[in-house]
Amino acid sequence: MDKTFLNLFARRGLSLDRLRVLLEIADAGGIAKAVGKDPVRQSQYSRQLKELEEYFGVELTRRDGKSLVLTRAGQQLADIIRQNFLGLADFATACAHEPAIFHLGAGDSLIHWKVLPHIGAFQKVFPAIIMSIRNLQTAQIIDALHSLRLDFGIMRRNAIPSVFKSVSLGKMEYALFVPKQLLPGSSGKTCEWVMNNVPMVAMDSSGEFARKLDEMMRRSRIKMNIRLECESFPAACHAIQSGCYAGILPTMAATDLPEDKFVRIEAPLFKRLSREIALAWNPRIMRLRSASVEIASWFGKNL
Amino acid sequence: MDKTFLNLFARRGLSLDRLRVLLEIADAGGIAKAVGKDPVRQSQYSRQLKELEEYFGVELTRRDGKSLVLTRAGQQLADIIRQNFLGLADFATACAHEPAIFHLGAGDSLIHWKVLPHIGAFQKVFPAIIMSIRNLQTAQIIDALHSLRLDFGIMRRNAIPSVFKSVSLGKMEYALFVPKQLLPGSSGKTCEWVMNNVPMVAMDSSGEFARKLDEMMRRSRIKMNIRLECESFPAACHAIQSGCYAGILPTMAATDLPEDKFVRIEAPLFKRLSREIALAWNPRIMRLRSASVEIASWFGKNL
DNA sequence: GTCATACATTACTGAATAGTCATATATCCT
DNA sequence: AGGATATATGACTATTCAGTAATGTATGAC
């Protein structure tokens, strides 16, 4: 066949270290951030980067203000390198009989109420795998899936780019949760009455949920009696558990709010907030890391 | 995220050269064959192999008689390396504005009558690509597709392992071709008469075709008047062109046998020999070499 | 302009690894 | 057993590439 990648090794200048340096710079977003403390290596990183550029005859980075950004070619090469290292690293961990690490990204609520409740069962089925769970926003997850920094992501289905594969994890619905002590008398108050009269905790994030909720409230001309803002649903849930606030939470949160102390009010209004969520992954990962096939299928069945 | 593949680079002993050496040994099937002439490097290859084994803590080769064979782990690693180098080599050729090389494997007949007739059109559509066409047998093609030494293979559809993707290239039918000068009188002689009375050229290969034909002949108790054996259909076709032999050829061969000089006799008998052929590839190649997507689709439409 | 920050360049040292040669060991063949 | 072939090992050299330090240059903030 061909002379074993002669075009790669005829010239010199290619080395694993230099490739790794490019990857580090790419991941960190600049030389300074890549070397962190120990700025002594700054010059080395700069030089190795230049040597790589000489080897390939292509600009891999461009100055962007004081810092660097990868060119298109640089990003491509970084992707190739990441893919290569992933393969080798997996082989190495397998050889060392060490557990492989898989990275899963998801939002706070999904981590707390969708993933963690099943993580014990996961551990039993996959005793030789380390799961690293990262709290990320949808856009970050998508970016990390593209570059293979994450193996899996959980997010709303309609946000998943079509290049990714996915498996549905069911619907996420919302409901209003109210501490009983804040409800006067016995009778069922309406959702609207609660939101107007009870101190409410609300989400302060810039995400899709807050946007949709805002719009809904404006349309239906309900004004919520907001007295606390939180950045995540689990935080809001804690506030509600204190007994002093009501709030809109994913219905999954019910496990943390016992029925004898909290009332859960569903309303047609909330239907518009509901969304299908899914486990998503870059199809490349399945070829690179064989265990990922079973993991994806397990998540699809059990979450 | 994680500390940029710390597990790979914390220990030393990994280098591109060593990986390349393993790959060469794997491809050549032994150190001696890998170093070829220049046996001076034999010791180096042996040592680098040992260093790789020390690095991964795994046996990569085992002695098999005087020579070496890869262990299961060795094969896995070789596959990973090949995949890695493919990605880098492709990036390098793209950077150098050099045409990428794609390797296509097929049997003699398919090369001559299926591929080469369209290769001019291919060149026009893909001016920046070098096609390397290799004459191989089905088993070799499958092996090479598995290990990514070939990008594409053409073979009969029912021989394609299910892990590969494929696109049909139509049916390959067979017919008996007879030089007019060997046919007495004007009237249509039967297929059987020709095979009994005219000097025939036959295939001498161990392939699927010869086997099936043999069986057919035995069943129908036809005895062919064989006077020449060839190893490939194109060779047999040449013999027929000489005017002194008749023979069974793929109907595609008709382009080389003008109707004014050769008679083409179809017979129900030959239907049993016909088979669907297809372009096959390892799905991994599509991720590694982006151009392969368009190439596969072009072949599917135009061959 | 001045200062702080981030990257680039140069020069030199040291460590890792590739290259070579001689020779030993293992296996196959006859 | 003896010769031929293939791989393994040890000793040494040469080269490449990583590590460190000092200094230069570009950019942004004030």
Q: Is the CB of A67 under 7 A from strand C?
A: yes
Residue of A nearest to B94 (CA): A56
Which residues in range 68-97 of chain A are in contact with strand C, contact meaning CB within 7 A of any of its atoms? 68
In this predicted structure, what is the pLDDT of residue A84?
93
pLDDT exceeds cutoff 90 at B154:
yes
Q: Where are the beta strands (DSSP E) in chain A?
A: 61-64, 67-70, 100-106, 129-135, 152-156, 165-172, 174-179, 200-203, 226-230, 246-250, 262-265, 275-281
pTM of the model: 0.81
CB contact under 8 Å between B88 and A84, yes or no, is yes
CB contact under 8 Å between B8 and A88, yes or no, is yes
Residue B272 pLDDT level (bands cut at 50, 70, 90): confident
Which residues in range 20-79 of chain B are in contact with strand C, contact meaning CB within 7 A of any of its atoms? 40-41, 43-44, 47-48, 51, 63, 65-66
Residue of B nearest to A92 (CA): B56
Assign residue A135 a region (left: φ > 0; alpha: ψ between -120 and 50; beta: otherwise).
Answer: beta
pLDDT exceeds cutoff 60 at A1:
no
pLDDT exceeds cutoff 90 at A286:
no
In this predicted structure, what is the pLDDT of residue A131?
92
The nucleotide minimizing the C1' distance to residue A47's CA is C8
Name chain B contacts of A88, Cβ cutoff 8 Å: 8, 14, 80, 84
Name chain A contacts of B91, Cβ cutoff 8 Å: 56, 73, 76-77, 80
pLDDT in tens, A12-49: 889 999 999 999 899 888 898 888 878 788 889 999 99
Q: How far is A230 from chain B (nearest CA, A)?
A: 26
Q: Give A118-125 contacts, CB < 8 A, sequence gap 24+.
A: A118/A302, A118/A303, A121/A302, A122/A298, A122/A302, A125/A298
In this predicted structure, what is the pLDDT of residue B103?
94
CB contact under 8 Å between A103 and B1, yes or no, is yes
Residue A187 pLDDT level (bands cut at 50, 70, 90): low
pLDDT in tens, B18-59: 999 999 999 888 898 888 878 788 889 999 999 999 899 899
Is A116 part of the contact surface with chain B (CB cutoff 8 Å)?
A: no
Which residues in range 26-45 of chain A are in contact with strand D, contact meaning CB within 7 A of any of its atoms? 40-41, 43-44
Cα B284 to Cα A194: distance, rounded to the nearest angstrom: 56
Q: How far is A302 from chain B (nearest CA, A)?
A: 26
In this predicted structure, what is the pLDDT of residue B160?
95
Place of tokens 């008679």: B263
Angle of helix B42-56 relative to helix A72-95, nearest 10 degrees, comes to 80
Cα A300 to Cα A277: distance, rounded to the nearest angstrom: 11
Cα B220 to Cα B208: distance, rounded to the nearest angstrom: 18
Name chain B contacts of A130, Cβ cutoff 8 Å: none
Nearest residue to A169 via CA among A289, A281, A287, A282: A281
Chain C nucleotides with an atom closer than 7 Å to a protein C-beta: 5-11, 16-23, 26-28
Distance of C1' in C28 from CA in A253, Å: 73
Chain D nucleotides with an atom closer than 7 Å to a protein C-beta: 4-11, 16-23, 26-28
Is A14 part of the contact surface with chain B (CB cutoff 8 Å)?
A: yes
- Please give the DSSP secondary-structure letter assigned to residue B259: T
CB contact under 8 Å between B20 and A14, yes or no, is no
Is B73 part of the contact surface with chain A (CB cutoff 8 Å)?
A: yes
pLDDT in tens, A79-137: 999 999 999 999 999 998 888 889 999 999 999 999 999 999 999 999 989 999 999 98
User: Which two three-digit tokens encode residue B154?
Assistant: 């053409």
Span B150-179, mean pLDDT? 94
Nearest residue to B174 via CA among B277, B276, B278, B271: B271
Cα B216 to Cα B210: distance, rounded to the nearest angstrom: 10
Q: Is the CB of B229 under 7 A from strand C?
A: no
Distance of C1' in C15 from CA in B30, Å: 31
pLDDT in tens, B87-134: 999 999 999 888 988 999 999 999 999 999 999 999 999 998 999 999
Amino acid identity of B159?
A: A
pLDDT exceeds cutoff 80 at B293:
yes
A-facing residues of B in 198-257 (CB < 8 A) are: none
Residue B204 pLDDT level (bands cut at 50, 70, 90): confident
Distance of C1' in D21 from CA in A40, Å: 8
- Please give the DSSP secondary-structure letter assigned to residue B115: I
- How does the average pLDDT of chain A come out, rounded? 89
Residue A4 pLDDT level (bands cut at 50, 70, 90): confident
Nearest residue to A83 via CA among A26, A140, A4, A38: A26
Residue A156 pLDDT level (bands cut at 50, 70, 90): very high
Name chain A contacts of B51, Cβ cutoff 8 Å: none
pLDDT in tens, A207-254: 778 888 888 888 888 888 888 888 889 989 989 999 889 999 999 999
CB contact under 8 Å between A15 and B15, yes or no, is yes
pLDDT exceeds cutoff 70 at A2:
no
